[in-house]
Amino acid sequence: MFTPGMLPDEYEDLRKSVAKFADDEVAPVSAEADAKHEFLYAQVAKMGEMGLFGLPFDEEYGGMGGDYFALCLAIEEIARVNQSLAITLEAGVSLGAMPIYRFGTEEQKREWLPQVIDGKGLAAFGLTEPEAGSDAGGTKTRATLADGQWTINGSKCFITNSGTDITKLVTATAVTGTRTGKDGTEKPEISTIMIPTGTPGFTAEPAYDKVGWNSSDTHPLTFDGVQVPEANLLGERGRGYANFLRILDEGRIAVAALSVGAAQGCVDESVRYSKERRTFGHPIKDYQGISFKIARMEARVVAARAAYYLAASRMIAGLPFKKEAAIAKMVAGDAAMDNARDATQIFGGYGFMNEYLVARHYRDSKILEVGEGTTEVQLMLIARELGI
């Protein structure tokens, strides 16, 4: 099992190299990019050169031959200084490329994976709709098959990496028919279909004006008579939603890693500031109210990191990990939000200024209690795994 502070050399070397990249090349440009809502193309390209988008994929597809835990370590280090860039990596791999890797045909993997794991291209996954997400039965997007072509009509919302200049592909869930359920009732047959972004009828609508993650690319999508070949079906017909649940289980570990990075960033900034800021002739670290607050922040980080390390260890070992992933995602998301709140309080008025990292973490971290399954969904999953 992976143990915080006792990583094998290859993982520790990766962590250190990504941490250096984050501190030297990401942190200096993050405040301006956030203020201007700019996507960090140069940093994404550098991450591609470092092999980060290819970490968990086989070398035969252009990957690095590593594993999912290596990806999580990279995401954590980037999230310390910029959550927007961290979610770009997380979504590009776990939501964009991973479904192709897990469920694609050999031909699909050889065609698409090299294009979306080199930092020069991105893939996205379109699941969420105004009435559908966790509730698959609410899916309104439809795909009909005729003469070897899928015709897709519908819309998606909150889709990460879907409208950048380098987005190559969006895989979307769609109702492709009906099936009789175990209870004898008719249920929608949901499949996943790969849609290249240049396909006529595919539109990435104007980007959202978000509370946070301002340097992350997020759009609603519209499919108006989009036509793609029958061969663009990803995985078995009718297994689209079930397959994506597997992807979400894995993704929760990566989002937990992102959350831990954000929580750690708040600790680092608070420790630094508490030594520099003086009141009544003393650095504020000397006041128990401040030192205890930072100590509690550190405790949250340590607990959350241990939770996602455990989930990743079980996943890589081939053991059941659904419960552990849900726990890690919930605990780490709470840690990120709680630490951001406390860090902002420690910084006082400066914590309310967007030029300071803790202010950005305060705005950014709320979505970590919502995205890839809300806290309530995680509680539901944990209870279900306990048999209650």
Distance CA 346, CA 105 (A): 52
369 closest CA partner among 340, 322, 333: 333
Q: Within 10 A of 231 (CB to CB), how many other CB atoms are there? A: 12
CA angle in degrees (0–180, nearest 5) for 262-7-68? 65
Please provide the DSSP assignment of 136-170 as one string: GGG---EEEEETTEEEEEEEEEEEETSSSTTEEEE
Sign of CA dihedral 127, 131, 135, 138: negative
Give the SS3 label for residue 238. coil
Q: Within 10 A of 31 (CB to CB), how many other CB atoms are there? A: 17
Q: How far is CA 53 from CA 22, 84, 163, 367, in A?
A: 15, 15, 18, 22
Which residue in the list 90, 269, 324, 372 is annotated as catalytic? Answer: 372
Helices (DSSP H) in 170-239: which residue ranges? none
107 in catalytic set: no
Contact status, residue 166 vs residue 44, Cβ threshold 8 Å = yes
Q: How far is CA 181 from CA 174, 184, 188, 244, 324, in A?
A: 18, 5, 9, 19, 29
132 bridge partner residues: 129
Active site amino acids: 372
